[in-house]
Amino acid sequence: MTTPEAASGGRFPLKGATPADRQSRIRGVRLGALVLNGLGAFALLAAMGFFAPKWLTYLITMSAANALVSLGIVCLMRGGVVPFGQGMVFAIGGYAAALLYNKLGFTDAVGLVLAGGVAATLVALPFAPLLARYRGIFFAMLTLALSMVTYGLGMKLEVLGGSDGFNVGRATLFGWRPPDAHVGYVLYLLTVAVATAMAMLARVYFDSTRGLVTLATRDNELRVEYLGGSVRQAMTINFLIAASCGGVGGALVVLSLGHIEPQFSYWTTSGEFVFVAILAGWQSVAAVFVASTVLEVVRSFSSRYFPDTWQLALGLFLLFVIRFLPRGLGSLWIRKGGK
Amino acid sequence: MPALLEARDVGKRFGAVVAAADINVQMQAGERVSLIGSNGAGKTTFVNMITGYMKPDAGHIHFDGRDITPLHPRAIVQLGVARSFQISQLFGDLSVLDNMLVAAACHDRRLSLWQAARRDAAVTHAEGLLQRFGLSEHRDRRVVELPGGVRKLLDIAMALTVRPKLLLLDEPTSGVSAEEKFPMMDTIMAALGSERDTTVLFVEHDMDIVGRYADRVIAFASGRIIADDVPDRALATDDVRRYVTGELLQE
């Protein structure tokens, strides 16, 4: 990993500085390095997408959008809980964007993505304080129950299209309607931009005081309370952050897929998001996107070459990761005991 | 001068077991008080009631002029009561510095989603405390890799991070070898400073430690206070010699 000194191009020599100066410079360099890394990643992916075949840009679009849902799960995992029902917020984000498009005629992609995030957060709001009281399997099963209720509503309600769902047309971007030839690339750029921005925000959050207290909660809730911290508050906020991530991911998927259906909230969909989160581990934000891409690649190639047994390949892959990388892919580049 | 801590007629039972009965204690700011008693005498129950972990069945506990009996532990910490634990309660997967930063962050009621945990002021304050406790060399080590004595010191250093008015130490030297006990208490007392800004109540079984570091001793037996005096006098009473140190039983 790039050291702060190296990242600054040697312009901020740290040797000889007072501890306060040193810390201040390290922090400034870290933030600068984060922004530079984010912009660099976006520029690289944008350039790559321009030349890449359509199937690859679509694969990356879907994996980046899905990764946002798993990023939300990682937020919760850092506090010691794993939701089995993140499909709920994924579906709500998707349905919100799709309904706004079809029923109200609002077609702006950025607005639809934001609406997806806001809708999922608002739906999660009344449940967050309740779920913050539960841990382990109880938390997991309660979230699963909520997602299956959402699935049931999606199946039964006519306004949501029933079991077949409904199609969503092509979104515009600030009033501009992308031509057929470029619509895939435009949605790819939008997804990568949103994913990069949210990844950077997630990194800032993980390194914040609240992010550190969340990690501590995972280790020892009792001590957090005896230091004056609120475990429930931390869990509530994490659940809302995870919901907003899931909603944004759902809206992005709907825009690229052009379709929404109750399957978005089904337990197997939630399971895939958990799979990615476990594969990534809770230490690295970038690992979530790598893991999501790995899943999409394994899924695409496995379903093409051995369509009946691709889940077997996926299961074996997960077993391999749990056995040899119990802290996930992120532990390959995050030092032991680090953030 | 009003008492910093006052327990009035505090009682607590666990079924037939009396853990506290008619406990009346006053502590002035700056005092260093030791709680002694045999196992099950009610010392830790008393500490747990002060910190809000347990609620008394009877009586009230006042801190700094306020009734803290009904308050949640977190609210009591925010008022200025901090504690360490008999079995160190740390964040094993985090580094020593991060443990200190968690303590500082928890004390800040307005936890931020974007303010860096490793900001200058917090790191400087944490490093200063680590230095006072002789823990600087362990700054970047994970807690699970630390020996027991170092964990004890870190546990207390974390409690001090919140700048408490009252510090409760539950058996700070338990599990530490005999030759390490005095150096450890010297380190703790030196870290607390000579200004006596922090009032200390510590549970202890080693009477040599009690005699050297406490201004006053409160002895418990079967949930009742059997002595409350300066160490020399308290430790010399028949009840303490019979129920706490066991000297009279041996005779």
What is residue B159's predicted lDDT score, i.e. its pLDDT? Answer: 93
When pLDDT is cut at 50, 70 and 90, the band that residue A19 belongs to is low
- Average pLDDT of the residues of chain A: 88
Residues 6+ apart with CB under 8 A from B155: B84, B85, B88, B89, B90
Comparing alpha-carbon positions, the chain B residue that sits nearest to A22 is B120
Where is A337: in which H helix or E strand? none
Three-class DSSP category at A112 = helix
Task: Kindly indicate the confidence band of residue A26, based on its pLDDT and cuts at 50, 70 and 90.
Answer: low
Amino acid symbol at A303: S
Distance between A233 CA and the closest CA of chain B, angstroms: 10
Q: How far does A235 lie from chain B, in Å, by closest CA?
A: 13
* Three-state DSSP class for residue B215: coil
Q: A228 and B162 in contact by Cβ < 8 A? A: yes
Average pLDDT over residues B144-167: 92
pLDDT over 90 (residue B143): yes
pLDDT in tens, A172-195: 999 999 988 889 999 999 999 999
Model pLDDT for residues B14-70, shown as the tens digit of each residue? 988 889 999 999 999 999 999 999 888 889 999 999 999 999 999 999 999 999 999
Average pLDDT over chain B reads: 89
**ipTM value of the model?**
0.88
Taking residues B78-102, report their average pLDDT.
93
Q: Angle A19-51/A54-77 helices, nearest 10 degrees?
A: 150
Per-residue model confidence (pLDDT) at position A314: 78
Confidence grade of residue B249 (pLDDT, cut at 50, 70, 90) = low
Where in A77-162 does DSSP place strands (E)?
none
Query: What pLDDT sits at residue A99?
Result: 97
pLDDT of residue A14: 44
Residues B225, B24: contact at Cβ < 8 Å? yes
- What tokens does A34 get? 């984060």
What is residue A180's predicted lDDT score, i.e. its pLDDT?
A: 85
Is residue B98 a contact partner of residue B130, using CB atoms and an 8 Å limit?
no
Tokens of B147: 């020996």
Report which listed range, A141-150, A222-231, B107-116, B139-148, is most confident: A141-150
Lowest mean pLDDT among A38-52, A108-122, A206-220, A293-307: A293-307
pLDDT at A9 over 90: no
Local confidence band at A13 (pLDDT 50, 70, 90 cut-offs): very low
In this prediction, residue B77 carries a pLDDT of 92
Averaged over A124-137, what is the pLDDT? 95
Say whether B101 and A212 touch across the interface (CB within 8 A): yes
Confidence of residue A232 (pLDDT cuts 50, 70, 90): very high
Residue A241 pLDDT level (bands cut at 50, 70, 90): very high
Q: Indicate yes or no: CB of B120 within 8 angstroms of CB of A23.
A: yes
| Element holding A30 (H helix, E strand) | helix A19-51
Highest mean pLDDT among A251-260, B85-94, B207-216: A251-260
CB < 8 Å to A222, chain B: 89
DSSP string, B155-214: HHHHHHHT--SEEEEESTTTTS-HHHHHHHHHHHHHHH-SS--SEEEEE-S-HHHHHHH-
The answer, yes or no, to whether residue A5 has pLDDT greater than 50, is no
pTM of the model: 0.87
Write out pLDDT tens, residues A76-106.
Answer: 999 999 999 999 999 999 999 999 999 999 9
Report the residue count for chain A: 339
- Given a cut of 80, whether residue A7 has pLDDT beyond it is no
Q: Considering only the beta carbons, identify the residue of B74, B105, B122 that sits closest to A225.
A: B74
Two tokens at A314? 């996926």
Alpha carbon B188 to its chain's center = 11
* pLDDT band at B162; cut points 50, 70, 90: confident
Torsion of CA A134, A140, A146, A150, to 10 degrees: 160
Model pLDDT, residue A11:
39
Q: Quick one: closest CA in A to B53, which residue?
A: A226
Chain B's closest residue to A209, CA to CA, is B117
Of A34-38, A52-56, B149-153, B242-246, the one with minimum mean pLDDT is B242-246
Q: Where are the domains of chain B?
A: 5-80+164-250
Nearest-by-CA chain B residue for A237: B113
Taking a C-beta distance cutoff of 8 angstroms, is the pair B51, B83 a contact? Answer: yes
For position B248, what pLDDT does the model report? 65
Mean pLDDT of B201-213: 91
Query: In degrees to the nearest 10, what's the CA dihedral of B39, B40, B41, B46?
Result: 110
Rounded-to-integer distance, Cα A126 and Cα A129, Å:
7
A114, pLDDT greater than 50: yes
Measuring CA to CA, which residue among A144, A117, A142, A145 is closest to residue A129?
A142
Q: What is the DSSP letter of A177?
A: -
Predicted local distance difference test score (pLDDT) of residue A4: 41
Residue B112 CA to chain centroid, in angstroms? 29
Q: Name the residue type at position A244.
A: S
Per-residue pLDDT of A56-70, as tens digits, reads 999 999 999 999 999
Q: Which residue has the tokens 């994913």?
A: A195
DSSP secondary structure, A238-264, as one string: HHHHHHHHHHHHHHHHHHHH-EE-GGG
Chain A: closest CA distance from residue B193 (Å) = 21
AA identity, residue B9: D
Please report which confidence band the pLDDT of residue B122 belongs to, taking 50, 70 and 90 as the band edges.
confident
Break chain A into its structural domains and give their ranges: 30-332
A204, A223, A236, A334: best mutation site toward chain B, by most B Cβ within 10 Å?
A223
At the top level of CATH, the class of B5-80+164-250 is alpha beta
Chain A interface disruption, residue of B51, B106, B113, most A CBs within 10 A: B106
Amino acid identity at A149:
V
Contact A88, A265 (CB under 8 A): yes
Q: How many residues does chain B have?
A: 251
Which DSSP symbol is given to B65? T
Structure-block tokens of residue A313: 């390949």
pLDDT at residue A100, rounded to an integer: 97
Q: Minimal Cα distance from B168: which residue of A? A: A226
- pLDDT at residue A16 is higher than 80: no
